[in-house]
Amino acid sequence: MTLTNTKAVDDQALESLSTATVYVCITCRRASDPEDAPRPGLALAQAASKAADGTSVAVHQVQCLANCSRALSAAMRCDGAWTYIFGGLEADRDAGALIEGAQLLARAEDGVMPWRGRPDILKRGLIARVPPLNFTEENQ
């Protein structure tokens, strides 16, 4: 591989690190919400899409992240990074935090969303994180 090709690969890696995707469950509702009413999950997805305008964060709607008992739910991922799943979100409060967190994750060179600077709801509402493909624990 030539130096030029190495630079191209590095640029691709940086590009992939600079894009994050947020998946918002549009079927989420709280237990007290009527089943036939507009779902607050959809409202959160719409607010997140609006909050992502002008950023490199993509927002996708998804039906159920299997975190129904801790709705509202969302997940976020970047290539080469850990995937994060959140619950206990509010449609009228947390869209901006999701986009802010996705940007933190996209900039994290180690693929781990930093605790410092992370929006509080993404600390309190963390359900799980999943390692990236090809991850191996180094301290075994």
Which stretches of the chain bind ligand FES, using CB under 6 A?
25, 27-28, 41, 64-68, 71, 73
Provide the pairing of β-strand 57-62 with 20-25. parallel
Min CB(3)–ligand FES separation in Å: 47
Angle (nearest 5°) at CA 27 between 25 and 33:
125
Min CB(16)–ligand FES separation in Å: 27
Cα-based distances in Å from 60 to 32, 41, 46, 47: 25, 12, 10, 12
Min CB(117)–ligand FES separation in Å: 27
Tally the C-alpha atoms within 13 A of residue 113's C-alpha that lie toward its C-beta: 30
Min CB(33)–ligand FES separation in Å: 11
Give the amino acid at 57: V
Q: Nearer Cβ to ligand FES, position 49 or 73?
A: 73
Angle (nearest 5°) at CA 98 between 95 and 103:
130
Q: Nearer Cβ to ligand FES, position 17 or 59?
A: 59
Q: Nearer Cβ to ligand FES, position 21 or 73?
A: 73
Whole-angstrom distance, CA of residue 139 vs CA of residue 2: 33
Min CB(42)–ligand FES separation in Å: 10
Q: Nearer Cβ to ligand FES, position 68 or 108?
A: 68
Residues paired with residue 84 on neighbouring β-strands, in sequence order = 76, 129
